[in-house]
Chain A
Amino acid sequence: SSELTQDPAVSVALGQTVRITCQGDSLRSYYASWYQQKPGQAPVLVIYGKNNRPSGIPDRFSGSSSGNTASLTITGAQAEDEADYYCNSRDSSGNHRGVFGGGTKLTVL
C-alpha cells in the first residue's frame, strides 16, 4: 500500500507531551521520517531512522515505531512547536516510490 494516515489535528497544553501518529503498511518495512512545516516556510526534517534527530533539533522531539504505526512525540511542547507535521516513507510494494501522510496540524494551547 502507498498510503500514510495521520490525524488532521492535535492539540496540546503548553509544556505537556503530545504524540502524533502515522499509520501505513509501508511502515512495517521502513522507518518514517518526520517534517515540521510552519506557515510560509519549507519543511524541516525533525526525525529520521529509528529515532535520529538532525543537528539543531531539540531533544524534546523523539520518534518510535511499532508494527504499521510510527509516532512523533514532543515532550514538553513549546509555543514554537505549533506547526504542521508530516510523516514520510517509501512504498513497500516494490516500486520504491515516496509517500507523505496527509499532515497533522499541532496547536499548542
Chain B
Amino acid sequence: QVQLVQSGAEVKKPGASVKVSCKASGYTFTSYGISWVRQAPGQGLEWMGWISAYNGNTNYAQKLQGRVTMTTDTSTSTAYMELRSLRSDDTAVYYCARALMDCSGGSCSWYFDYWGQGTLVTVSS
C-alpha cells in the first residue's frame, strides 16, 4: 500500500533552517511528483511547491521563492523540503503529498492522492 512517512517534529530558532523528509513506499517513486503543503495553527492549507521525482524539476510558491528548496533521493525514495531563514509565521504542520494529473474528463485536474502524516515545525526564540 502507498505510504508517505515524514520525519519528526522540529523546534527551530528564528533565522535557522529546517529540512523535513518524506519517505515513500508502495509505488514507483519516480512515476509521480511530490507536493509540499503547510498549515499554520488554526489556518487553511497552503501549497508550497512541487517536485518531479522523475527529473527533479521544481515549481515553488512565489512567496517562498529563495527560501525553499525541494529535492529527492531516488535511491531511497525520499523527498526533502528545506526552508531557510525561518520566521515565527513559518510555524506550521508541513505535509508531503503524492501529486498527479488526470486529464480524462476533457479538462485536467491536478490532485494529491496520498498524504504524509505531517511534521510540526515550531519556530520560536
Total cross-chain contacts (CB, 8 A): 87
Contact A49 B109 (CB under 8 A): yes
Chain A interface residue number, banded: 20 to 34
Interface segment among A17-25, A71-79, A88-96: the answer is A88-96
Q: Collect the chain A residues with CB atoms within 8 Å of residue B11's CB.
A: none
B105 at the interface (CB under 8 A from A): yes
Determine how close the nearest CB of chain A comes to the CB of B23; give it in whole angstroms: 15
Nearest opposing residue in chain B for A50, CB measure: B105
Interface segment among B39-47, B73-81, B83-91: the answer is B39-47
A68 at the interface (CB under 8 A from B): no
Q: Within residues 75 to 109 of chain A, which ones have a CB less than 8 A from any CB in chain B?
A: 84, 86, 88-90, 95-103
Determine how close the nearest CB of chain B comes to the CB of A27; give it in whole angstroms: 9
Contact A100 B45 (CB under 8 A): yes
Contact A31 B108 (CB under 8 A): yes
Which of B35, B60, B61, B111 has its CB near the most chain A CB atoms (within 10 A)? B111
Determine how close the nearest CB of chain B comes to the CB of A10; give it in whole angstroms: 15
Determine how close the nearest CB of chain A comes to the CB of B125; give it in whole angstroms: 27
Which positions in B face A, CB cutoff 8 Å?
A: 35, 37, 44-47, 50, 59-62, 95, 97, 102, 104-113, 115-118
